[in-house]
Structure 1
Amino acid sequence: MLVPLTAEEGSSRPWALLEMQGELERKDGGSLEEAFDVGTLSVSSSGSVLLTIGYHQLEGKRVELKKPFAVLDRTSSEEGGSTGFKVIGVVREKILFKARPRALITKPGGK
C-alpha cells in the first residue's frame, strides 16, 4: 500500500529522543499523552546532559542514531477518505540516561 508523505516547510528544527530506564509517572495521576512540564533539561559545553525532575537529577549523554527516523502526523482527506502522513520532524540523536537518578534533597537524619 502506498501512503503519500509530505514535508512541513521549515521543519529543520532538531528533534531528539529521550531514553530512560524505568517508568515516568505523573503525581496527579493524569496520562502522559497530555502536554505537561516534565522537568528541566540542560546541556553543558562538555556534552553531558542533566535532566532535573522534581527532587531527582539524571545525568546522560547525547548519542547519534545509526539510522535517523521521521516523526509523522496523520492527515486525512475529507473527500476521498484517504489517509496520508506529513513529516513534521526527523530524529537524528537520542539522549541516553543509563544511571539511576540522584536525589537532590535528603531527609534529615534524626532519631
Structure 2
Amino acid sequence: MVCAVIYSLKDSKQNNSNIVLLEFQGNFQSSETQVNNLKMGDISFNNDKATLIIGHHRIEGKKVKLSKPFAIIRKREKNQEKEEQDKMIMDESSSVIYDTVIILREKYVFSQRPGLLVQESLRGLTRIGG
C-alpha cells in the first residue's frame, strides 16, 4: 500500500496565488503536435468578468463560486535539506509527499459561443445582398 502525506496550505512551501480555474463549453483544436507551453491567446480579468481573445475570436466569461472548494496539490521534489524533515514525518509505508499549492473557491465559466472580432479598418467592406 502506498501512503501519501499532503501538507496543508499554511505549511506548504509552494503557495502560489496566480492560479485560476477556467471552464469552457466545447474544445480547442490545434494543428501543433506539441501543445506544452503553446500560447493560446490573451486573457484579461475585470472585476467578475474575464475576456479571452484567440485569433479573431473573443470569448467572455463570468466568475462563479464553486459549490465545493478545489485543492491543487503538487508532488514535492526531493531536496537534501527537506529529506531529514520528511524522514521524521514519513514512516516505512509512505513514499510520496505533496504540497497544497492553492485552494480555489471560484472559477470563470465561458458558456457562450465566441464572437468574431473584425478590425475597424475592415468594417463595411463587404456588402451582402445588394
TM-score, normalised relative to structure 1 = 0.75
Give the structure 1 partner of residue 103 of structure 2.
90
**Which 5+ residue runs of structure 1 have no aligned equivalent?**
none
Structure-1 separation of matches of 2:59 and 2:112: 7
Pick from 32, 40, 43 the counterpart of residue 41 of structure 1: 43
Q: Which string of whole-angstrom CA distances, capped at 9 and with x for unpartnered residues, describes residues 61-80 of structure 1?
A: 00111211111112376997
- The answer to whether structure 1 residue 11 and structure 2 residue 15 are counterparts is yes
User: Which structure shows the bigger proportion of residues in strand conformation?
Assistant: 1
Name 1:50's counterpart in structure 2: 51
CA deviation digits over 1:19-51, x for unaligned, max 9?
A: 0111112342323xx122221111234x22211
Identity rate, percent: 27
> What corresponds to 1:104 in structure 2?
117
Partner of 2:73: 72
Aligned pair in 2 of structure 1 residues 59, 109: CA closer, same or farther (>3 Å)? same
Distance 1:44 1:76 in 2: 35
TM-score, length basis structure 2: 0.66
Change (3 A) 1:28 1:10: closer
Measure the CA separation in 1 of the matches of 2:45 and 2:62.
9
Unaligned runs of 5+ residues in structure 2 are: none
Cα offset for 1:2? 4.3
In structure 1, give the amino acid aligned to 2:104.
V
Structure holding more helix per residue = 2
Structure with greater contact order relative to length (CA < 8 Å, sep ≥ 6): 2
* CA shift for structure 1 position 4: 0.5
